[in-house]
Structure 1
Amino acid sequence: MSLSDDDAEILEVARAGFIEEAQEMLRQYEAALLVLEDDPQDAESLNAAFRAAHTIKGTAGLFGYVHVVGFTHEAETLLEALRSGQRALDDAVMAALLESGDQISRLLDQLGQDEPDAEVLAQGHALAARLRALLGKAEAEAPVAAEAVPEAPTPPAELIEPIWHLSLRFGPDALRSGLDPLSFLRYLVTLGSIEGLQTLTDKVPVLEQLDAEACYLGFELRLRSEASRQDIERVFEFAADDADVQILDPGAPPAAFEALAERHCGTDAQARATLFACWQSLGLDFQLRRVELEVPSAEEPVVVPHIERRDPQAARSPSRRSGEGDRRQGGRDRRAGDETRFVRVRADKLDTLIDLIGELVIAGSGAQMIAHLEKNDVLLEATQRVMDLVQDTRDGALALRMVPIGETFGRFQRVVRDITKQLGKEIELVVTGGDTELDKSMVDAIADPLMHLVRNSLDHGIEAAADRIAAGKSPTGRLALNAFHEAGAVVIEVSDDGRGLARERILAKAIERELIEPDQVLSDHEVWQLIFLPGFSTAEQITDISGRGVGMDVVKRSIETLRGSIALTSETGRGTLTQIRLPLTLAMIDGFLTMVGGVHYVVPLATVAECIDLPREFNPDSQRISGTFDLRGEVMPWLDLARFYGVEPDTSRRRSVLVVRDGGSRVGLIVDRLLGEHQTVIKPLAGIFQHMRALAGSTILGSGDVALVLDIAGLLTAARRSASTEQSAR
């Protein structure tokens, strides 16, 4: 049967959802194992790792991803041995389990292919062998029957066909739990062939009582397979809570079917007759000669060999899998739970929504401008109300894209563990501020730059234990990741208590490469900035961790692409602090609108400290771009935006100074006019404008004019450089 286009699209979306969920489960799996490594007695972390692996295996089975199912089962078996106390946790077990997470990830990456790469499969086979060896059991022991079965003559084994009988009854909440009954049937085909199948629909209610989200189906089928009972049971083990699965061995005696009928039908003679007719249609006449429609007497208990015993009343009790009377209400209770408070939304749809809200902001600004021109109080009040609602909508839409950075920080637990073992160092990772929120696109983009910084600290920054003891330090090094909000930006810090940056070595390398003059005097800040030059490295030897000089320039370029800045501070023997400053979002900001030389400029409102008149000591006829002035006893650098951008200032009226800040630095920007607050939708600059300095983007005003959005970090850097150049010229 071929799928329709709609079915195929639904299936593809479900598969994409599975991969995303599986990746999340892998992160939980790895995080739980890392906690367990520090505290082997943490039973909850062990259970969390087991649940994550079990979920991945179960969901992969629904889609028929046999390679994922098979390998994950090996890891799950070892985890179960740890849970039961059959195996103790040691370094070898932990290493193998962490590597198993990597292998599952590689298999997930191969799902788009017809068959995984041979190299990936070979890695999986080798690691699976390691997992089994660590378990210490070549083969799982056969389950021991809990109840004795009366001996009866049975045909020789070689005369019994390998045909299993499966009796499946799915609970009413199976679909709500994400189970697809047809997926189980498709998966069974991978173990053999289905000789006969009957779908039972006797539980389907009349249309008026039908719950579209409930499952009423049952199946009776014959499976020809050489697989073991354990292999068949594995197909359904993750559906144990939402299905009643009974498996009868090949050649099962009539007594087994009698017990099965008692389980499903009880004393309902009509239901038993229907079930017997179903079995006969599957070719089971030869096994039903002794079956009668009368109810077996209570004095003749029937024992079913190798059938999972579950309380028959459990399926009928008032619970989540309750009977007809409570089924619909149970579904409502389940859907109202916490697990349904989250909805997966495609990122491109969210981007489209934010773009539309941005256009709404621009249109609203235009309407508000017309209201001001018309000087209509009623219209002004109405447009102001609309703009307030637009602003609330904007904030709500942007909040949808905000995610905690802690998820990114959590990835480095494994990195630190692996590298410290590789380097033979003792390093503690301290994470703070993980709940600080940042735009999702920026969280994804910052992961690689942070990885470079972390690896550099681990390799070059933090010394080996012996060197630290010789320097009077604790043998255990400390690497810290921190995040916090400051002045409308997110600050991310990577710090260590290692040896610090070698100032003289950096200068010597810069002179050797003719980046600076031998007699040139540089501040500490300028020396540290040399590290971000392409190919610059002071590493004495190249390792597979760092030292090739291809990282820090990439880090800086990636951060500047996000309109951010990076700064280094270091103290010899005490460690290094790297501080990354990023805007909260790349989409929309609250801005302060100014005009310089007939051009509109927008300054992010969060960076504005105050507005003042132009100081009296400033010469309006001066051609200088920058300088300093006295602001209430503080020496404040200033930057004339008009001359900085090469336009003629408007001197027909008194100009103003906009004092802005970026971290601990402040500068006064001289502008021609102050136009007030303005909601700003940031548009990227076209390539032709990329050469312009200290611009973060552009925006469209309500009048249709274009305004340029200033990059405050870039302006501060330009101001410092201009001041340094002018001082040198003197």
Structure 2
Amino acid sequence: MNMDQALQTFIAEANELLQDMESCLLRLEHNPLDADTIGAIFRAAHTIKGSAGLFGLEPIVSFTHVVEDVLDRLRAGEINKNPELIALLLECGDHIQYLIDVVAVQDKAPEASAVDRETRLRARLQLYRNAASAALTATDNPINKLDPAPTGTFDFWHISVRFGADVLRNGMDPLAFLRYLNNLGSIVRITTLFETMPEIAALDAEICYLGFEINLQSDASKAAIAETFDFVRDDCTLHILAPHSKTEEYIELINNLPEETALLGELLVASGAITQQELEHGLNLQRTDPAPSLMPIGEILVGQRSVEPALVQAALDKQQQVQESKQKESRFVRVHAEKLDELINLVGELVIAVAGTSLLANASQDDALQESASSVSALVEAIRDGALHLRMVPIGDTFNRFQRVVRDVSNELNKTIELQISGGDTELDKSVVEKIGDPLMHLLRNAMDHGIEAPAARVAAGKPATGLLKLNAYHESGSIVIEIADDGGGLNKDRIVQKARERGLITDDAQLSEQDIFNLIFEPGFSTAAAVTNLSGRGVGMDVVKRNITALRGSVDLHSIAGKGTTVRIRLPLTLAIIDGFLVGVGHASYVVPLDMVQECIELSDADQRSAKLSQYLNLRGEVLPLVFLRDHFSASGNAGRRQNVVVVKTATQKAGLVVDTLQGEFQTVIKPLGKLFSGLQSISGSTILGSGEVALILDVPALIQQLSGQQSPLQSQPHAQRDVTALPPVRH
């Protein structure tokens, strides 16, 4: 076995389990009576501890064992759920994550500060362990304190135990523990479970495959019975139900059974609800009696009064759950991200090669070859779409991580803030998801610190004391839009302008639009905070947010209403690898426009060209369309054609026309990053290789439109509704 590969698998699974554990703890904070959530938290900790033990990661095993013990007592109802316990368990999850990063990943010993933190956490956990022990002592002999067994209860201790695979190797005899139980009382019934027993050829005599369901008549306490299994506590799964336990407790036991069986009768036997003999009696009735044979086995057992209907229904639910789980497992295959990246790169090279083949086929004037090249091109396009879809992941996993951030930051700020998440199923490229986490984190923290007011201020303003943060994602025009909205006080435009003048960012007589004012907060070092806090106020962050989003070929804009709140809208491409493009020519150069931004193409006559050159605008069916002459913008060489064309593009709510020489059609574009030498280019987002081997630049349309809106023109100072559209030349189609 490749232990390094196995260790990496453990690390990946442990990280997933810790994320699930954190989500469940946050959910438990709002719904403390959810037994399924408590069980999921316990199983996550138990799995991490057991897997860490396989690799000898003793620091992880030792600490997680204490956490697991508290969770076990929480699950058994021996300690109460409260906000302090939830906060402690969240801190414990953070420490386990630290131990995995340091001990498992870096193969180092924990730092002194981490050891001190663990000591404090263990002391706090011990308080809950002691409280649980005290509660057990107080009950002393619970069998004598209970009323006579009501309907639907059982009058014996029920012990469900599954011994671990290594219990024999560790020198323990499972039967010795069962024999010891006779010292505490009388075993009324015992059922041996051997579902995991393999074929005789695969049997390993050193592995324990057995589990037991035991009914014990005894007046001993639960603590005394549990002490019987102390020596194998870490090598077994143990459930103990007290005498006269209600049907609901047996239902919970059925739900927590480790067996992955889909047979109803076996589930009922495994939980101790019926004996094997009762099951066989029911099966014999089903086989021999003509009337009952038409009935399901569950109905037969209920009819024979061997088992209660509620337990049969719980077993049926468990059966369905196991079947669905196995179906889901069979549908998924874990693939390393590097293999996907390599596949995407190869598909990109294939796209370029097919483009070259298509050019040669068209030049050959061979109809059969052209048809074959067209078929191959269509297949490659389908392969491209399929390969890109493999790397698409829902953004909801990223959004859910911020639940913990909002909880911790709101407590630090003494604010009550609720996070609402929508659009979590929206998918985008995994590489984009990995890089958008930090910008979103900063925007959320900024909204909580600057945007949402203190509870007293909100109440005084007629708002609810609880602030509201919204995270939303949706697809629009081939891009993904992420919105971060708050219902806080909004941006203070006067304060922003004042700070900008103090720092020399704008002149005293500058006339700025509302959007220009809001964009000032993205300037390096800019902050309107009255005081520096642990979260913000140093003017570091918003400029980094914009720079990181721009590096992803995205854009960010703000909308704010004083007293109502602020919305930050981030627009990102779905993938950073391959896009559908529209190829245009300007002189000797070729450029690619992202196809999802192209609205239409129109021809520009000589007369229209002269008038548009002067005004920089076109009258497009009564709409003012600003123009960008790419020949002038890029100082392109080569003679212009007799006629020019306008490619109408749209990003968000803004439109513009790109004036080009030739329209060369749709083109599958493999995005190649530009080197550092070209990092300062404002209107270019990347490059691609054409089928001819030439390089074409990919236009950054949002940046082009932004530059256009910042240029001075005779019409710029006029409100949009007052522009004289009739003075502009109508375009000819």
Name the residue aligned to 1:289: none
Structure 1: how far apart are the matches of 2:96 and 2:59?
A: 9
Name the residue aligned to 1:425: 415
Name the residue aligned to 2:616: 627
**What per-residue deviation string (whole Å, max 9, x for no partner) do you get for residues 310-352 of structure 1?**
99999xx9xxxxxxxxxxxxxxx99974224322222222111
Structure 1: how far apart are the matches of 2:413 and 2:163?
A: 55
Matched, 1:380 2:370: yes
* Aligned with 1:513 (options 503, 520, 526): 503
Name the residue aligned to 1:475: 465
Name the residue aligned to 1:587: 577
Whichever residue aligns with residue 119 of structure 1, its letter is S
Name the residue aligned to 1:349: 339
* Aligned with 2:439 (options 428, 436, 449): 449
* Aligned with 1:31 (options 23, 32, 45): 23
**What per-residue deviation string (whole Å, max 9, x for no partner) do you get for residues 206-229 of structure 1?**
8xxx5xxx6534259xxxxxxx97
* Aligned with 1:117 (options 106, 111, 117): 111
Whichever residue aligns with residue 218 of structure 1, its letter is E
Name the residue aligned to 2:126: 132
- CA contact under 8 A between 1:170 and 1:216: conserved in structure 2? no
Alpha carbons of 1:695 and 1:426: their partners in 2 closer, same or farther (altered >3 Å)?
same
Q: Which moved more, 1:646-655 or 1:11-20?
A: 646-655
Matched, 1:498 2:488: yes
Matched, 1:12 2:4: yes
**What per-residue deviation string (whole Å, max 9, x for no partner) do you get for residues 222-247 of structure 1?**
xxxxxx9766413323699xxxxxxx
Name the residue aligned to 1:339: 329
Whichever residue aligns with residue 687 of structure 2, its letter is S
- CA contact under 8 A between 2:606 and 2:643: conserved in structure 1? no
Alpha carbons of 1:313 and 1:476: their partners in 2 closer, same or farther (altered >3 Å)?
same
Q: Look up the SS of the partner of 1:356 in the other structure.
A: helix
- CA contact under 8 A between 2:169 and 2:206: conserved in structure 1? no
* Aligned with 1:396 (options 386, 389, 406): 386
Structure 2: how far apart are the matches of 1:553 and 1:135?
A: 48
Name the residue aligned to 1:267: none
- CA contact under 8 A between 1:593 and 1:676: conserved in structure 2? yes
* Aligned with 2:75 (options 83, 86, 91): 83
Whichever residue aligns with residue 95 of structure 1, its letter is A
Structure 2: how far apart are the matches of 1:96 and 1:36?
A: 13
- CA contact under 8 A between 1:169 and 1:218: conserved in structure 2? no
RMSD: 3.4
Matched, 1:487 2:481: no
Structure 1: how far apart are the matches of 2:406 and 2:171?
A: 40
Alignment of 1:192-591 (within 5 A): 216-218=204-206, 232-237=231-236, 337-591=327-581
Matched, 1:53 2:52: no
- CA contact under 8 A between 1:643 and 1:649: conserved in structure 2? no
Structure 2: how far apart are the matches of 1:115 and 1:566?
A: 43
- CA contact under 8 A between 1:489 and 1:584: conserved in structure 2? yes
**What per-residue deviation string (whole Å, max 9, x for no partner) do you get for residues 140-190 of structure 1?**
989x999xxxxxxxxxxxxxxxxxxxxx9987xxxxxxxxx69x96999xx
C-alpha deviation, 1:506, in angstroms: 0.6
Q: Which moved more, 1:645-654 or 1:628-637?
A: 645-654
**Consecutive unaligned residues in structure 2, runs of 5 or more:** 143-161, 173-196, 209-226, 240-271, 281-322, 719-733
**What per-residue deviation string (whole Å, max 9, x for no partner) do you get for residues 379-409 of structure 1?**
1111111111111111111111111000110
**What per-residue deviation string (whole Å, max 9, x for no partner) do you get for residues 16-62 of structure 1?**
11111111111111111111111112222222222211221121122
- CA contact under 8 A between 1:64 and 1:186: conserved in structure 2? no
- CA contact under 8 A between 1:58 and 1:238: conserved in structure 2? no
Whichever residue aligns with residue 673 of structure 1, its letter is T
Whichever residue aligns with residue 237 of structure 1, its letter is C
Alpha carbons of 1:170 and 1:455: their partners in 2 closer, same or farther (altered >3 Å)?
closer
Structure 2: how far apart are the matches of 1:126 and 1:106?
A: 15
Whichever residue aligns with residue 669 of structure 2, its letter is T
Alpha carbons of 1:170 and 1:619: their partners in 2 closer, same or farther (altered >3 Å)?
closer
Alpha carbons of 1:229 and 1:706: their partners in 2 closer, same or farther (altered >3 Å)?
farther
C-alpha deviation, 1:538, in angstroms: 0.5
Count matched residues: 582
Alignment of 1:556-705 (within 5 A): 556-614=546-604, 618-620=608-610, 627-648=616-637, 650-705=639-694
Q: Look up the SS of the partner of 1:567 in the other structure.
A: strand
C-alpha deviation, 1:644, in angstroms: 0.7
**What TM-score, normalized to structure 1?**
0.74
Q: Look up the SS of the partner of 1:619 in the other structure.
A: helix
**What per-residue deviation string (whole Å, max 9, x for no partner) do you get for residues 599-644 of structure 1?**
11111111111111126763349866x8221111111111111111
Alpha carbons of 1:204 and 1:726: their partners in 2 closer, same or farther (altered >3 Å)?
closer
Name the residue aligned to 1:68: 60
**Consecutive unaligned residues in structure 1, runs of 5 or more:** 1-6, 147-167, 172-180, 189-202, 221-227, 241-308, 318-332
Structure 1: how far apart are the matches of 2:229 and 2:661?
A: 81
Alpha carbons of 1:508 and 1:336: their partners in 2 closer, same or farther (altered >3 Å)?
closer
C-alpha deviation, 1:698, in angstroms: 0.6
- CA contact under 8 A between 1:420 and 1:458: conserved in structure 2? yes
